[in-house]
Amino acid sequence: MKGITASAPGKVILFGEHAVVYGRPALAAPVFSVQATAYVEEALPNSGLLIHAADLDLNLSLADAVTHGPALAAQLALEHLGTPEPDVQITIRSTIPIAGGMGSGAAVSAALIRALCTYLGHSIGDEALSALVYEVEKFYHGMPSGIDNTVICYGRPVYYIKGREPQFLLVKHPFDLLIGDTGVATPTRITVGAVREAWQRAPQTYEALFDAIGAVVEKAQAAIERGEVALLGPLMNENHALLRELGVSSPELEQLVKVARTAGAAGAKLSGGGGGGNMIALVDPANVERVGHALRKAGAVRVLHTLIR
Ligand code: MEV
């Protein structure tokens, strides 16, 4: 049988991370310059389903579904199709930084499930795919809001509220972002867990911070849909200050955010779970080189340029 490849993009949270776990809205966009891919091909008879994570040189089978996300993704795909275990070899690869807040786990699951379903003769829709990836996300970090699987599976900018149908974000004027990687890998479940503990200790303080973040998100959505890009920089700075108050920034993130602003970014904030991982900076196209250079000089291990549209 012919081999099948599928891919899924990385993502950035534009506004609203963490507060989205507590029912406030958030905005996210796919990043197509980094991708996870899965290739499914026929394997020897009676070999069962084998997964090779090429970047990690890790081999998995369905028996690993209790400990490894990709094996769980494959198991969920087979359950969804009502198909017995096939003899296939699945090779997964990803250029999305691991534990960097760019959705690497969700993208690997999405690519794998899409490729496996297509190989087995069933094309899976975005909604069903997103629901399965959400189940794997729960394995990775306990109580995800569902924003990562949504933006990655639909491949479009979203306005998202937990538990509701996703709304697509209409970007009137595309805008340029730089994504700077601190190089400090921090799994989302760590910072999500830390925020939860802090919220349990001081619920009123944290609810007020989530409300403030939600209000920034509403303003940002309106600005993006009206094409008022100039409003977004200050809103990013405001969102970053609130995330710092939540306790999810880090010295490395602070340094990159500060350097980006000094070099001419209109605004900058951490993006995703925080504690390390990535930050984003809103830049005028004329400033992309200068801000990118400043970020690298300040220690960013990777700087990506993406157009949100
Ligand atoms: C992670 O990309 C975004 C968080 O808000 C977690 C979540 O929404 O599940 C930190």
- pLDDT tens string 233-242: 999 999 999 9
Ligand 1 atom closest to the CA of 16, numbered from 1: 5
Q: Are strands 26-42 and 4-15 parallel, antiparallel or unpaired?
A: antiparallel
Residue 21, number of CB atoms within 10 A of its CB: 23
Ligand 1 atom closest to the CA of 18, numbered from 1: 5
Compute the distance from residue 62 Cα to the ligand 1 centre, in Å.
Answer: 27
Cβ(192) to ligand 1 under 6 A?
A: yes
Cβ(275) to ligand 1 under 6 A?
A: no
Compute the distance from residue 143 Cα to the ligand 1 centre, in Å.
Answer: 9
Ligand 1 atom closest to the CA of 191, numbered from 1: 10
If you average pLDDT over every residue of the chain, what do you get?
97
Report the C-alpha gap between 265 and 257 in whole angstroms: 9
Q: Given 126, 148, 181, 211, which residue is catalytic?
A: 148
Average of per-residue pLDDT across 161-172: 96
Q: Is the pLDDT of residue 25 over 90?
A: yes
Report the C-alpha gap between 58 and 275 in whole angstroms: 27
Cβ(96) to ligand 1 under 6 A?
A: no
Q: Are strands 88-94 and 167-168 parallel, antiparallel or unpaired?
A: unpaired
What pLDDT was estimated at residue 195?
97
What distances in angstroms separate CA 131 from CA 30, 72, 106, 194, 252, one per listed residue?
17, 13, 11, 26, 34
Active site residue 148: yes
Q: In the chain, what percentage of residues exceed pLDDT 90?
A: 95
Compute the distance from residue 84 Cα to the ligand 1 centre, in Å.
Answer: 33
Sorting pLDDT into bands at 50, 70 and 90, what band is 248? very high
Sorting pLDDT into bands at 50, 70 and 90, what band is 141? confident
What pLDDT was estimated at residue 20?
98
Compute the distance from residue 248 Cα to the ligand 1 centre, in Å.
Answer: 12
Instruction: For 73-108, write each residue's pLDDT tens digit.
Output: 999 999 999 999 999 999 999 999 888 889 999 999
Q: Where are the alpha helices (DSSP H) in the chain?
A: 69-81, 104-119, 126-141, 147-154, 188-201, 203-226, 232-246, 251-262, 288-297
Ligand 1, atom 8: nearest CA belongs to which residue? Answer: 145
Report the C-alpha gap between 95 and 120 in whole angstroms: 26
Q: Please tell me the pTM assigned to this model.
A: 0.97
Task: List Cβ<8 Å contacts ≥24 apart for 194-199.
Answer: 194/247, 194/248, 194/275, 195/18, 195/21, 195/246, 195/247, 195/248, 196/143, 198/246, 198/247, 199/22
